Amino acid sequence: MYFPKHLFFDLDRTLWDFETNSRNALQKLYDNFQLSSYFEHFIHFHTTYHHINNELWKKYGKGKISKDELRIVRFQKTMERVKIYDQGLVEQLNTSYISTAPKEKNLFPDTLETLKTLSNRYKLHIITNGFEEAQITKLKTTNLFPLFDVIVCSEMVGKTKPHREIFQYALQKANAKPTESVMIGDDHTTDILGAIQSGMQAILFDPKEKYRKSAGQHKIKNLNELPLLLTML
Ligand SMILES: [Mg+2]
């Protein structure tokens, strides 16, 4: 039997509904900066940005670009796709997005209630690859902040998940043994494999059933499945 004491959560796409929140923030940018002058439709802007942003995050994860490059270049490249080379506009878009997106409040269903229930029995922590000031704003805006004990952002460690260093750092900070710790996250590579390599148990949050269930793998569709599943690990 396994008796977990510490639960480590990923934040983006596990608790905080990144897709919805990012789309809402981009829609505000689109309206406020009248980007309809350059793009046929919001969807055109959104998909262009989304694709470029994903590619840049992969480079950031491999240490090939810095945080500041990632932030500026994603808007620069998005605007270049419609032949706009206006660095002033790019910087305004970036500043506006950074200040508004983390204040979006959509969480996955039952997040707050489930975490409150779990906090009576376990110590809750966060391990995220996101940027510190943005992640703290998200947690505070959604009232999740007081529920967590240790919050580890990859910037503090200089390594992103799935690198073992970030899990080891988080375990140490939380004063937790891997054998009494469970990681819950939506990404099979960064969250699940990273945690397992660090000796933790892992639960995949897969609300849209993107992944096939493989033998021995713990998987949930809704966070409210956690309290019961954790007693059966
Ligand atoms: Mg995630």
pLDDT (tens digit per residue) in 59-73: 998 889 999 999 999
Say how many Å lie between the CA of residue 88 and the centre of ligand 1: 31
The whole-angstrom separation of Cα 202 and Cα 100 is 32
Helices (runs of H) and strands (runs of E) counted in the chain: 10, 6
Q: Which H/E stretch holds residue 8?
A: strand 6-9
Say how many Å lie between the CA of residue 143 and the centre of ligand 1: 19
What is residue 213's predicted lDDT score, i.e. its pLDDT? Answer: 75
By C-alpha distance, which of 160, 167, 99 is closest to 134? 99
Say how many Å lie between the CA of residue 199 and the centre of ligand 1: 20
As to burial, measured by CB atoms within 10 angstroms (0-12 exposed, 13-18 middle, 19+ buried), residue 3 is: exposed
pLDDT (tens digit per residue) in 87-106: 999 999 999 999 999 999 99
pTM, entire model: 0.94
By C-alpha distance, which of 23, 30, 81 is closest to 52? 81
Whether the predicted pLDDT of 36 surpasses 70: yes
The whole-angstrom separation of Cα 164 and Cα 168 is 6
Whether the predicted pLDDT of 38 surpasses 70: yes
Say how many Å lie between the CA of residue 198 and the centre of ligand 1: 18
Say how many Å lie between the CA of residue 84 and the centre of ligand 1: 32
Of 75-79, 108-112, 142-146, 155-159, the least confident: 155-159
Q: Which H/E stretch holds residue 224?
A: none
Q: Which two tokens stand for residue 115?
A: 């975490």
- Write down the residue that tokens 């397992």 correspond to: 196
Residues 6+ positions from 164 with CB-CB distance below 8 Å? 194, 197, 198
Say how many Å lie between the CA of residue 129 and the centre of ligand 1: 8
Q: Provide mean pLDDT across the span 113-126.
A: 98
What is residue 233's predicted lDDT score, i.e. its pLDDT? Answer: 87
pLDDT (tens digit per residue) in 186-200: 999 999 999 999 999
The answer to whether 55 and 35 are in contact (CB under 8 A) is no
What is residue 1's predicted lDDT score, i.e. its pLDDT? Answer: 62
Say how many Å lie between the CA of residue 30 and the centre of ligand 1: 25
By C-alpha distance, which of 72, 97, 75 is closest to 84? 75
Q: Which H/E stretch holds residue 47?
A: helix 42-61
What is residue 3's predicted lDDT score, i.e. its pLDDT? Answer: 85
Say how many Å lie between the CA of residue 10 and the centre of ligand 1: 6
Say how many Å lie between the CA of residue 108 and the centre of ligand 1: 12
Domains of the chain in start order, with CATH, are 6-17+107-230 (3.40.50.1000), 18-103 (1.10.150.240)
b/e 75-96 (16+ beta carbons within 10 angstroms → b): bbbbbeeeeeeeeebbeebbeb
